[in-house]
Structure 1
Amino acid sequence: MIEDLPKEIRAGLDEARRRDQKRKSRLRVQAGADVWRVQRLLDGGFALDATEVAHLRGRVDLYDGARHLMQCLIVASAVEDGELICLLKSSTRATDRAPLDFVRDETAPVGYLPRA
């Protein structure tokens, strides 16, 4: 149905949709000191605004507001319809504690109570 509209109206609707996606998204990508807002998540990647960044590759950090979600390795990026589509080779969830190098006993005490 949108294909029946004149080109100018379609372009205006696409621009309004992109602006709305920018405002809604809290996700952002950080590579070194550079930060870009994520327009949308894809299966195996994400999309950025191509006017802000033309090419991106390597290790980046993905944040939701101030919360660190994951570290990602971008292997390919291409511009499609004004968006930079970044494809991920791997993504590792960020955790707030160090990984254990031993098996934790489920019956072990969680803490000790002091003697009163």
Structure 2
Amino acid sequence: MTTYLPKELQEGLWEARLATLKKTSRLRVQVGDEFYPVLRLWREGFAVEDATTPKLRGLVDLYGGGKHLYQCLIVASDAEAGEMRYEFKRNTAIADAAALDFYSDPDAPVGLLTHE
């Protein structure tokens, strides 16, 4: 039994895989004013389609749908099977509120009621 696949068949499988990843992923990366779909995201980086996405570098923003998730400093890693992989040099999660610089007691009163 052989595990050899003809080149045309292998390329067809890669294209089908990329099309499926593009349909199912809601993630996208923003560079300047342009958005590009993210095929996969993992702890150390992410992957985009090599053919339609220009070479990225520097500071980018990652979005999940319409929600801003991360601000990242990236560097190109490698290209394989139709996707370009990037690694994070820095990956900062975006917070909804400003960080507190003091301790807030969970049992503290929410407001002060005065008697008039």
Same fold (TM over 0.5): yes
For residue 104 of structure 2, give the secondary structure of its aligned residue in structure 1: coil
- 1:59-84 alpha-carbon deviations (Å, 9 max, x no partner): 11111100111111103343223211
Q: 5+ unaligned residues in a row in structure 1: which ranges?
A: none
Structure 2 length-normalised TM: 0.85
* RMSD (Å), alpha carbons: 2.4
Matches within 5 A, 1:9-48: 9-48=9-48
Q: 5+ unaligned residues in a row in structure 2: which ranges?
A: none
Identity of aligned residues (%): 49
Counterpart-to-counterpart distance in 2, 1:112 and 1:70: 38
Offset of residue 43 of structure 1: 3.4
Offset of residue 26 of structure 1: 0.2
CA contact (8 A) 2:14 2:82 kept: no
Counterpart-to-counterpart distance in 1, 2:57 and 2:50: 14
Offset of residue 58 of structure 1: 0.9
Moved more, 19-28 or 52-61: 52-61
Structure 1 length-normalised TM: 0.85
